Structures are given as structure tokens and as C-alpha cells.
Amino acid sequence: MIMEALRGVLGAPPVPQGSWDREARFVSTAALRGTAEPPAEAAERLAVRLRAMPGIRRVDVRPNGFLVIGVATPGEIVDEVLAAPVAVRRSPAAVSPPPASSAAPWPDFPRTWDNPGFAVRYAYVRAGAVRRWARDLGVRVGAAARPELLDGPFDRAVLRVLAELPSRRESRDPGWAAYLERLAEVYHTAVERASPIPRGDEAPSEVHAARVRMGEAVRRVLGEGLAELGVAPPGKI
């Protein structure tokens, strides 16, 4: 898995860089940490190891020692999200519905797009509904999906936000609320513009299956983030 492999070389997860419209790139400051050698030399040493890894498209070394890493198949991030254990630090009691006095990040109402909390909760519910609808329409839900098929601009936008998860998990201030809002926004757009569900006379395809699986990863992350914020993931809206 590409993220775990990068962590193994760099010692910490890299951070996604740019929009990923054309290339999926990460940036790492690993060469600046805990070494007596000049950052540029440390970066070159790490770059040699990175370039030998499967799935790495290119590695550039910046004069300041930053590493910019291009990956060949960003869709592999979906499998990593789904394979990783859910890292919720709160106690089980913390994910029960918060009382009225709780400082939840968003109000329950209004349930409109003007309320970011509605968009986040709806994205969680929507991803589950998409899986059911896709299965009913003949998409091979649960089958091994091909990550290389997640190559359209709307798919890449979702992958770009999902790729932030490893570094956010290790951050002292993950910024869950803002992160979930961004993830929900790109997911809703992807469902509308790059449907995971066959439309009209369209036949079920492997692309649909890959997008459904990506939605499962989105739902997993939204559920984790909501639990971290002390908000119970909704069963329905």
C-alpha cells in the first residue's frame, strides 16, 4: 500500500500537494528531521529509496530539502482507508447523541445546503444509500475494484482530500470539522458529476464499482470524524 510504504521510508505520512488535477503529488519534510547531514543531501538519499518503490512516478528534490513525490495510482488510497483500523480516540460514550448544551460544531437545523453540518451528515448517509442503489442496479459491490479507474477529475478531487487523512490523524489539531466539510463537498460533487450509479440505459461497469468503493472510504472517514467530534453518525436523514 502506497501510503504505508511512503511512511516506512519517510518516517511520517507525507502531505498531499496541489489539486491533483493532472498529477497526484505529496510533499515531505522528512530530510529536515533528525539528521546531521545537509537537508539537500538527506533528501537525495531518501529520493533514491523512493524512486525504487513500485507505484512512484517521480521524486523531485527541492533546494530546501523538501521532497515532492508523484504517485502513479492515487486510487490505491481507497483500499488503505478501508483497510486501516478506525482511529477514534474518544470513548464509546462520546459518540452518543450530544445533549442540547453540547458544543457541537454544527447545528442540526436547518437541514439545507446552507448548513455545513447537514452536508456532512447527508454525505455519510448518501454514501451508504449509493452502495445499496448500486447493488440493486447490478454493480458488483464488494468485488475487487480497480483503483486505476478512479482517474477522472471529480474522482481525483475526492482522493485528494482522502489523502490528507494519515497526516491529519497524527496532527495535534486535525481540524476535523473543516476537513469533513471539504470531504463532503467533493463527494457530493462527484456523485452528481461522475455517478457511481448507472444512469438510464447505462450498463453497470467496473468504474461504477470503483466509485462505490471510494464512497465507502468516504463514509468510513466521515463516520470517524463525526465520532471524534462527539457527533453520532446518522442512520438516515
Q: Hey, what's the cell of 43?
A: 533528501
User: CA–CA separation, 183 vs 161, rounded Å?
Assistant: 6
Q: Do 105 and 177 form a contact (C-beta atoms < 8 A)?
A: yes
Q: What are phi and psi of 42, to 5 degrees?
A: -60, -40
Q: Hey, what's the cell of 30?
A: 522528512
Q: How many CB atoms sit inside 10 A of residue 166's CB?
A: 23
Q: Angle, nearest 10°, between helix axes 76-83 and 2-10?
A: 80
| H or E stretch at 60 | strand 56-61
Q: What is the pLDDT of residue 95?
A: 41
User: CA–CA separation, 81 vs 74, rounded Å?
Assistant: 12
Q: What are phi and psi of 124, to 5 degrees?
A: -60, -50
Q: What is the pLDDT of residue 187?
A: 98
Q: Angle, nearest 10°, between helix axes 153-162 and 76-83?
A: 40
Residue 138 Cα distances to 77, 143, 190, 195, angstroms:
25, 12, 20, 14
User: CA–CA separation, 51 vs 63, rounded Å?
Assistant: 18
Q: Do 7 and 13 form a contact (C-beta atoms < 8 A)?
A: yes
Smallest Cα–Cα separation from 55: which of 33, 85, 79, 31?
A: 79
Please report, in tens digits, the pLDDT of each residue of the chain (237 residues total).
Answer: 899 999 999 999 999 999 999 999 999 999 998 767 889 899 999 999 999 999 999 999 999 999 999 999 999 999 999 998 776 554 444 444 443 334 468 998 999 999 999 999 999 999 999 999 999 999 998 767 899 999 999 999 999 999 999 999 998 888 999 999 999 999 999 999 999 999 999 999 999 999 999 999 999 999 999 999 999 999 888
Q: How many CB atoms sit inside 10 A of residue 41's CB?
A: 13
Q: What is the pLDDT of residue 225?
A: 95
What pTM does this model have? 0.91
- What does DSSP assign to residue 168? H
